[in-house]
Amino acid sequence: MKLNCFYIVAMILVFLIPANVWSQEEFNKLNSKGERTGIWKKYYSNKNIRYQGQFKNGKEVGEFKYYSIVTSQHPTIIINYDEKSSKATISYFTEEGIKESDGELLGKERNGKWTFYHPDGKTVMIEEHYNKGILNGSYKSFYSTGKPLEILNYINGVLNGPSKRHADNGVLLDDLNYVNGKLHGKANYYNLEGKLIYTGMYENDVKVGFWDYFGDGENVKENN
């Protein structure tokens, strides 16, 4: 009888102890240096989960999931941290779980290739490249059909090199060139049928020399 009574009392105490006491023993631990270690979970004031991930000696490692205060059904951000460097891969989602973008982080800055998606979460809308948070390299945007819209090039955040713009039927409209963010060099403009309508040269964003204009099958030169 004494054993049974002890068992009953013990079970009552188990149920009376708040759940967060047990969770504090399993989650949200600190090591001897006061650094976060093991699995950590944080919650919003409405009890929805805010994030969950794992720390090692105060550093995030592996997968972290972040949630909207509105719903805990789908994470809105998923980050995978590299344990041996400051690099991480990150993906953003809507509250419904549809992917919006993904890319690489170096510390807290965008780095390498980043991809943004149309509302279907699958079709690529933009591809761009970063170097420590600054646009550097090719930039491509696409229509929802997958056909190219713009193809640009950046060096240290400034437009440099060829620049092409297309209509939604795939026809090339503008074939330009940039130097240090300004139009410079040969420029060709086309109509929706792909026919050349005017061409000439730019210097530092200004038209120079003779430009050829094509209309009704005639070539008309204009001196700028």
The predicted model scores a pTM of: 0.82
Domain ranges of the chain: 160-224
State how far the Cα of 47 lies from the Cα of 65, in Å rounded to an integer: 16
**What are 32's strand-pairing partners?**
none
List, for residues 108-127, the tens digit of each pLDDT value. 999 999 999 999 999 999 99
User: Are the C-beta atoms of residues 132 and 111 closer than 8 Å to each other?
Assistant: yes
Q: Report the pLDDT value the prediction gives residue 23, as an integer from 0 to 100.
A: 46
pLDDT of residue 222: 64
Both structure tokens of 202: 């730019």
Tokens 């490249």 correspond to 129
**Six-digit token pair at 222?**
């204009």
Q: Is the pLDDT higher at 5 or at 89?
A: 89
Computed over every residue of the chain, the mean pLDDT equals 89
**What CATH class does 160-224 carry?**
mainly beta
- pLDDT given for residue 9 in this prediction: 47
Q: pLDDT tens digits for 168-223?
A: 999 999 999 999 999 999 999 999 999 999 999 999 999 999 999 997 555 666 65
* pLDDT, tens digit (0-9, with 9 covering 90-100), for 11-61: 544 444 454 444 445 889 999 999 999 999 999 999 999 999 999 999 999
CB atoms within 10 A of CB 129: 19
- Asked if 167 contacts 181 with a C-beta cutoff of 8 angstroms, the reply is no
- Looking at residue 135, its pLDDT comes to 98
Q: How far apart are CA 172 and CA 58, in angstroms?
A: 52
Percent helix, percent strand, percent coil in the chain, to nearest 5: 10, 60, 30
